[in-house]
Chains A and B, each alone.
Chain A
Amino acid sequence: MNELTVGGRGGKADRRLFLLILGAAAALALGTIVAFHVVFRGSVLTDTIGGPFRLVDGRGHPVTDRSWPGRTLLVYFGYTNCPDACPTTLAAVGAALDRLGRAGDRVQPLFITVDPRRDTAAVIGAYARAFSPRIVGLTGSEDAITHAAREYGVMIPDAEEMRRSGYTVEHGHGVYVMAPDGHFITEITAVDDPAAIASDLRQALRRS
């Protein structure tokens, strides 16, 4: 008598076929997820963190991920109508860079808006500079912003959701450290602690 029959007949051959189909279905699903950056709760799956972007700085000049050659980039996403989380992180980043002294000159902090409709070049530029003259605020077309956020695995709300919710906007809060050659070094998680940020940056600079 056969054990472990599937469907009550046929035994081993049926079971193998069943597992093959299951395996194929799983591979297809996984492939779909990787290919289309399915948005999960709180995170976007991306196979690598970072990648090319084309955005606009506070003076309206086009920039890309290669606009700061030789610098370690600090990439953070947020928006200006955020009165607590974004300012707290940006102030901490500014303070951390001041702590680094001359080493801080090797770091380029970027603040990329997730709300390009309200955060125009002038608005984002002035906002970022208010925290530190080192921080460059970036904006761009909705497509360019969405693309950049996906490259970093950062969840951002879609434009419709923004319009509907007014000021309640959910967005990924990581600060990403990128080496001068474009590869991902680390994500800073203690984003409100200047000492912790400075310490992580010193480590990162040693590896660049």
Chain B
Amino acid sequence: MPRARSAVAAALVASVLGAGATRAAAPPGVTVTEGWMRAITRAVPAGGYFTLRNAGPTAVTLTGAASPGCGTLMLHRTESSGGTDTMEMVDQVTVPPGGTVRFAPGGYHLMCMDERLQPGATIPVTLRFDDGRTIVTTFAVTGATGR
């Protein structure tokens, strides 16, 4: 029966998408691209960056991240004002429908502590949203120079 089959197919797709830390499905219409981590030395945190596009019908709120390459992975933001920089921890980032948020050098970034990253390799990263949904994506890992 077509309905049962498509229900099974939907469940399979959802479980593949959620095959990271949790089994929750990805928010509809949300894509994550250009993910990369800058690994410097094992003794210090690595920085992570990506672009998140929300082509879905509702706002999505990113609340956290996880990766097997990081003991902890947190959302942060560099704030530059006058002659100084400071770094703030970020609890959540809301992306409106049709919106894009860039985690990029000088602004939002991921802080990866206790890093176990291999420059030249890739690492899975799970982004978590406030409704329990997740996206699992693959980040490239570079050395300190970012290349």
Q: Which of A81-108 contact B (CB under 8 A)?
A: 81-85, 87-88, 90-91, 94-95
Binds A, one of B39-47, B51-59, B130-138: B39-47
Binds B, one of A22-30, A170-178, A198-206: A170-178
Quick one: which of B40, B83, B106, B111 contacts A192, CB cutoff 8 A? B106
User: Cβ of A42 and Cβ of B145 under 8 Å apart?
Assistant: no
Q: Which residues of A contact B40 (CB under 8 A)?
A: 80, 87, 127, 130-131
Specify the main secondary structure of chain B where it touches its partner.
strand
Q: Which of A170-208 contact B (CB under 8 A)?
A: 170-174, 192
Quick one: which of A91, A94, A132, A155 contacts B84, CB cutoff 8 A? A155
Quick one: which of B80, B84, B86, B144 contacts A90, CB cutoff 8 A? B144
| Chain B proximity of A65: nearest CB distance (Å) | 21
Q: How many A-B residue pairs have CB under 8 A?
A: 98
At the interface, yes or no: B34 with Cβ under 8 Å from chain A?
A: no
Q: Interface size on A (CB < 8 Å)?
A: 32
At the interface, yes or no: B88 with Cβ under 8 Å from chain A?
A: yes
Mark A residues whose CB is within 8 Å of B: 41-43, 80-85, 87-88, 90-91, 94-95, 123, 126-127, 130-132, 154-155, 167-174, 192
Mark B residues whose CB is within 8 Å of A: 38, 40-41, 43-47, 76, 78, 80-89, 105-106, 109-112, 143-146
